[in-house]
Amino acid sequence: MLQCFQLEHPENEMVLCDSPKCEAIADYLEVEADGTEHRLCAFHTMSDKYASRLPARVPDRNIPYRRLRII
């Protein structure tokens, strides 16, 4: 069962969408039944709710992800 969360961005970083060729900021964290995480923007999420209506969750820092550093 897929679970959707509001993505909490690490301090001084903006997480980018995992979808290929997408450079949008990720707002959603989707977690599959096997624990696989996907960081997705509003366009690519499977959630039927706005991110702000979902419980917030920090992604696993051990899984590589695309990001922008904020100076």
Query: What confidence tens digit (pLDDT) does each residue in 30-56 have?
Result: 999 999 999 999 999 999 999 989 999
What pLDDT shows up at residue 3? 95
Q: Is 17 exposed, middle or buried (0-12, 13-18, 19+ CB in 10 A)?
A: buried
Number of domains in the chain: 1
Q: Which domain holds residue 65?
A: 3-69
Q: Tokens 């366009």 belong to which residue?
A: 43
* Residue 51 backbone dihedrals phi, psi, to 5 degrees: -55, -40
More confident residue, 40 or 11: 40
For the whole prediction, is pTM greater than 0.75? Answer: yes
Cβ contacts of residue 54 below 8 Å, gap of 6+? 4, 5, 6, 28, 47
Token pair listed for 13: 């970083």
